Amino acid sequence: MLIVMETNATKEMVAKVCQEIEKMGLKAHPMPGPTRTAIGVTGNTSQVDSDRITAQSGVKEIIHVTKPYKLVSREFYPENTVINLGHDVTIGGKEVVIMAGPCSVESRDQCLAIAEKVSNSGAKVFRAGAYKPRTSPYSFQGLGEKGLKILDEVRKEFNLLIVTEAIDTETLDLVAHYTDIIQIGARNMQNYSLLKKTGRQPKTVLLKRGMSATLEELLMAAEYILNEGNRKVILCERGVRTFADHTRNTLDLSAIPFVKRMSHLPIIVDPSHGTGRRDKVLPLSRASVAVGADGLLIEVHHDPANALSDGAQSITPDTFEQLMKEIGAIANVMGRSV
Ligand code: PEP
Ligand code: MN
């Protein structure tokens, strides 16, 4: 349920309505917007006495939202959510934000070498996993806290923002301490205790689509985070499992315009995991920007043949430079900038 307030409703009026909602045993989420203040109501709203709410001063109308996702829906918040990531970088607005770096933090030298290259080419965010969710327990699992400290050095040295994955509730606080954006990976998209915990902390969350998740399931996962109070969520299309075996996953670019209609949250594309193939990253990056993605998550490695994870889908810094030039031109056509 969504309560739309009059444009001239005061803060006190909004607070009073929130109090009434809480008294009914429901949760109130005031959402001030540029054109109106709305109050999202979650919980079991079926028994709510609407008259008790419309009787409050400042209330314009009540909208019943039938979708299972509420706080992430366009109905609840018609404007695009624009998140300030820090360092004057915003996502969800005009900017197309490029996040690039290796799959894993392998060493200090490796991260500094790649960070220098991607930063020179114009990336704003450095990606690399310190905790890696690997299919095989015998594969490289990441450097853990040592890796997080290397990422901290990258931030300081190159003024890059950092995105890195949290794989469990035990290490979430530690990851949050070191990073600017917390990545929740495809394998954890429906790890509800992890989602709830990321919702109770203030850092921005990058939520990747599960390998077999529908768009509604992706939005419901984001709803868990917003419902705990954190509205800074970026969604990420990274390919889903299909019968097609010419790529590692099938990158579902139709998800972008669909999600844009369903939700106000920013959405980016990861063409690296989406294809699993280095030579397909550039064409699908072009297409992602053309279809309206708010950013890209790209795996870049200076020595892909010897990468400890995902070398086959990692592009070289030279290709990345080319990619930046091309998507800059496409972004311009779309009235956006990189
Ligand atoms: C990654 O970004 O390196 C990763 C493990 O991604 P995903 O969760 O999409 O597989
Ligand atoms: Mn990877």
- In this structure, is residue 77 part of a structural domain? no
Distance 199 CA to ligand 2 centre (A): 24
CB-ligand 1 contact for 278 (6 Å cutoff) = no
Question: Can you give the CATH number for the domain in which 12 is found?
Answer: 3.30.70.1140
Name which residue sits closest to atom 3 of ligand 1, judged by CA. Answer: 103
Per-residue pLDDT at 272 exceeds 80: yes
Same domain assignment for residues 158 and 272: yes
CB 207 less than 6 A from any atom of ligand 1: no
**Whether pLDDT at 210 is above 90:** yes
Determine the atom of ligand 1 nearest the C-alpha atom of 104: 3
Please give the structure tokens belonging to residue 197. Answer: 């915990």
**Is there a single domain that holds both residue 50 and residue 170?**
no
211 alpha carbon – ligand 1 mean position (Å):
10
Q: Which pLDDT does position 35 carry in this prediction? A: 78
Closest-CA residue to 315 (of 274, 273, 279, 269): 279
- Expressed in angstroms and rounded, the spacing between residue 297 Cα and the centre of ligand 2 is 10
Asked whether residue 296 carries a pLDDT value surpassing 80, the answer given is yes
pLDDT of residue 271: 98
127 & 36 share domain: no
Pocket test for ligand 1, best of 179, 208, 241 (most atoms within 8 A of CB): 208
88 and 213 part of one domain: yes
Residues 161-185 pLDDT 10s: 999 999 999 999 999 999 999 999 9
| Cα of 213 from ligand 1 centre, angstroms | 15
SS3 137: coil
Report the distance separating Cα 22 and Cα 6, nearest Å. Answer: 20
The upper half-sphere exposure of residue 157, i.e. CA atoms within 13 Å in the direction of its Cβ, equals 19
Residue of the CA atom closest to atom 8 of ligand 1:
185
**Cα 104 to ligand 2 centre (Å):** 7
Split at pLDDT 50, 70, 90, the class of 193 is: very high
289, with CB counted inside 10 A (0-12, 13-18, 19+), is buried
Number of residues written out for the chain: 338
Query: Do 213 and 112 share a domain, yes or no?
Result: yes
3 Cα–ligand 1 center, Å: 38
**Can you tell me which residue has the tokens 């901290």?**
152
Count the domains in the chain: 2
Question: Ligand 2 center to residue 87 CA distance, Å?
Answer: 25
The per-residue pLDDT for range 141-158, each reduced to its tens digit, is 999 999 999 999 999 999
Mean residue pLDDT across the chain: 96
| Residue 78 included in any domain | no
| DSSP result, 205-221 | EEEEPPTT--HHHHHHH
51 burial type by CB count under 10 A (0-12 exposed, 13-18 middle, 19+ buried): exposed
Residue 18 and residue 108 in one domain:
no
Measure the CA–CA gap between 99 and 311, rounded to whole angstroms: 17
The verdict on the CB of residue 14 being under 6 Å from ligand 1 is no
Q: Does 273 sit in the ligand 1 pocket, CB within 6 Å?
A: yes
Domain co-membership, 252 together with 220? yes
The mean pLDDT of 262-287, rounded to a whole number, is 98
State whether 99 and 216 are in the same domain: yes
Same domain, 234 and 187: yes
- Compute CA 9 distance to the chain's CA centroid, rounded to the nearest angstrom: 32
- Same-domain check for residues 184 and 216: yes
Identify which of 114, 134, 141, 183 to mutate to test ligand 1's pocket (most ligand atoms within 8 A of the CB): 183
**Considering only CA atoms, which residue is closest to atom 4 of ligand 1?**
185
28/173 same-domain check: no
Which sign, positive or negative, has the C-alpha torsion 17, 22, 26, 29? positive
CATH of the domain at 238: 3.20.20.70
The domain in which residue 26 lies consists of 2-63
